[in-house]
């Protein structure tokens, strides 16, 4: 079965610093990869997705991710974070209609 | 309209109560989902409806009963719940197809006493 592993459970970062959230996937077939964000007391919001084509994917709020087939990774990056980026971030892989989420990474941005 | 709405926002119920959660979307999506999310955990898929028919049931206990009255509405009927069922219940919708992005509602926070 396809799955994703998020390598960091918590990432503290200072405001205006860059951040990288790591996600590895396991699959021997085509993968569809997603990053979702969950702000406190809210539902999930799609940041970006990779289906095929260009390996660098740009999303909302200045986030981007790079699909690396050889390393089976889909890391999320932002060059400069804001306090408002404090949230839970989930990497996910889909097969048919099922989304399988990673355990999540808590990002805490400090001034 | 790219919004999925859920009511109520919060719900407290006893173990003998019957209650229902409601989810609505007007994006024309033909797939709708129920997820359960415990604190500090990722969402867990419960049910999937495709074209108003139940297509996936992830071995959910029968005290949870989903219903899809039409293409815009999804309900989750609750009966005889246990305290361990306390969680955030998220609804999502998407166009059909394996590459479709799911749009999530804000959730209903359920507390079972």
The pLDDT tens digits of the residues spanning B29-50 come to 999 999 999 998 999 999 999 9
What does the alpha-carbon distance between residue B43 and residue B41 come to, in Å, rounded to a whole number? 7
How wide is the angle at C-alpha B102 spanned by C-alphas B27 and A52, nearest 5°? 115
**Nearest alpha-carbon partner for B92 in B41, B38, B54, B36:** B36
Candidates B40, B45, B106; nearest CB to A43: B106
CB contact under 8 A, A42 and B101: no
Least confidently predicted of A34-43, B38-47, B92-101: B92-101
pLDDT of residue A92 exceeding 90? yes
Contact, A9 vs A55, CB < 8 A? no
Average pLDDT over residues B58-77: 96
Given pLDDT bands bounded at 50, 70 and 90, which one contains residue B96?
confident
Identify the pLDDT of residue A26. Answer: 87
Average pLDDT over residues A24-46: 88
CB contact under 8 A, A43 and B33: no
Identify the pLDDT of residue A28. Answer: 62
pLDDT of residue B93 exceeding 80? yes
CB contact under 8 A, B102 and A99: yes
| Residue B80, Cβ density class (10 Å: 0-12 exposed, 13-18 middle, ≥19 buried) | middle
Given pLDDT bands bounded at 50, 70 and 90, which one contains residue B98?
confident
CB contact under 8 A, A43 and B48: no
Q: How many residues does chain B have?
A: 113
pLDDT of residue A96 exceeding 70? no
Residue keyed to tokens 């998020």: A6
Identify the pLDDT of residue A11. Answer: 98
Identify the pLDDT of residue B1. Answer: 62
pLDDT of residue B11 exceeding 80? yes
Round the average pLDDT of chain A to a whole number and report it.
92
Q: How many residues does chain A have?
A: 111
Which of B98 and A55 is assigned the larger pLDDT?
A55
Average pLDDT over residues A29-53: 90
Which of B30 and B99 is assigned the larger pLDDT?
B30
Contact, B65 vs B76, CB < 8 A? yes
The verdict on A64 touching B (C-beta cutoff 8 Å) is: no
For residue B42, the distance in angstroms to the closest alpha carbon of chain A comes to: 6
Round the average pLDDT of chain B to a whole number and report it.
94
């Amino acid at each position: 079965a396809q799955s994703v592993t998020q390598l960091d459970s918590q990432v503290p970062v200072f405001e205006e610093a860059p951040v990288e959230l790591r996600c590895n996937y396991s699959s021997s077939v085509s993968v569809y990869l997603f990053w979702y964000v969950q702000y406190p007391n809210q539902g999930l919001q799609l940041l970006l997705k990779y289906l095929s084509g260009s390996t660098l994917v740009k999303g909302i709020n200045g986030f981007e991710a790079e699909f690396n087939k050889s390393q089976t990774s889909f890391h999320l990056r932002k060059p400069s974070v804001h306090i408002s980026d404090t949230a839970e971030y989930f990497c996910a892989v889909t097969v048919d209609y099922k989304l399988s989420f990673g355990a999540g990474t808590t990002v805490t941005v400090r001034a | 309209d790219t919004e999925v709405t859920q009511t109520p926002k919060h719900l407290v119920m006893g173990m003998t109560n019957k209650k229902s959660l409601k989810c609505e979307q007007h994006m024309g999506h033909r797939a709708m989902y129920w997820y359960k999310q415990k604190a500090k955990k990722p969402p867990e898929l419960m049910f999937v409806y495709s074209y108003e028919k139940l297509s996936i049931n992830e071995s959910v206990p029968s005290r949870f009963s989903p219903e899809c009255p039409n293409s815009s509405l999804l309900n989750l009927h609750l009966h005889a719940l246990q305290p361990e069922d306390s969680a955030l219940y998220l609804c999502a919708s998407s166009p059909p197809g394996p590459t479709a992005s799911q749009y999530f509602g804000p959730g209903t926070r359920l507390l079972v006493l």
